[in-house]
Amino acid sequence: MHAALAVPLQAGVLPAVSDDLVARAREGDRAAFEALYRAHAGRVYALCLRLSADVLRAEELTQDTFVQAWRGLRAFRGESAFASWLHRIAVNAALGTHRASERRERRVLPLAEPPQGRSDAVDTGLAVDLERAIASLPPGARATFVLHDIEGYAHEEIAGMMGVAAGTSKAQLHRARRLLREGLTR
């Protein structure tokens, strides 16, 4: 019964994007790129917000992600889905930032209001509690939890992105879950 929890979480939920839009954007069509931005900004921002736990930084990271994507579109050959490629850029940008700022004072996501997201059957109170708890995690544990348990990346992928061993990713995830469990039952 618990094995179902091991099923990849993001399969099928990435927004579909017209190949034509990507092709046009690759040729420099700014309107096509804006359409890609409109289709993906919410998911990229959600990812950046959870990884950075900082609203203003999440905005910056979202912008950086799309600027990097624009610069790199010609190198994008379509081996992976555009959304997956874009999200990898966002993850790399966010992880690079959190590594550089790990020693600075950590700011906690100011979630006075629940995120205005799109999801089926979300209990708003529970979601806000969980978002707050995630934001209060240490950066490494938070990144691992977000990437594994929310975004559905495998430990090997996370290890590659974070520059750590897969075992370290597993240990960080265990720590994150334990801290969340403790934090949510207080």
Partner 1 sequence: MSCDDVRAILDAYLADELETAERRAVTAHLASCAGCRSEVQAWSELLERARALPRSIEPPRDLWPDVDAALDAAPVVALGAAPWRPRAGLRPVWLVAAALALVVVTAALTTFFLRESDTLLARKLKGMPGAASPSTETRPASEDLLRSLEEQNLPPETIAIVQRNLAVIDVAIAELEAALAEDPDNRELARMLVSTHRKRDELIQGAVRAKEGG
Q: By CB under 8 A, what part of segment 101-160 binds partner 1?
A: 102-103, 115-123, 126-127, 130-131, 145, 149-150, 160
- Overall residue count recorded for the chain in this entry: 186
Among 21, 53, 89, 137, binds partner 1 (CB under 8 A): 89
CA dist 131 and 150 (Å) reads 11
Rg (CA), the chain: 17
For residue 61, the minimal CB distance to partner 1 (Å) is 10
Total residues at the site for partner 1 (CB under 8 A)? Answer: 74
Q: Restricting to residues 8-37, which ones interact with partner 1 according to CB under 8 A?
A: 9-10, 13, 25-28, 30, 33-34, 37
Q: Which of 4, 75, 69 is nearest to 36 (CA)?
A: 69
**Cβ proximity of 11 and 153 under 8 Å:** no
- Binding of residue 67 to partner 1 (CB under 8 A): yes
Of 18 and 88, CB closest to partner 1: 88
Q: Which pairs with CB-CB distance under 8 Å and at least 24 residues apart come from 172-176?
A: 172/140, 172/141, 172/143, 172/144, 172/145, 173/141, 173/144, 173/145, 173/148, 173/149, 175/138, 175/141, 176/137, 176/141, 176/142, 176/144, 176/145
Among 17, 81, 99, 136, binds partner 1 (CB under 8 A): 99
For residue 68, the minimal CB distance to partner 1 (Å) is 6
- Binding of residue 163 to partner 1 (CB under 8 A): yes
- Binding of residue 93 to partner 1 (CB under 8 A): yes
For residue 41, the minimal CB distance to partner 1 (Å) is 6
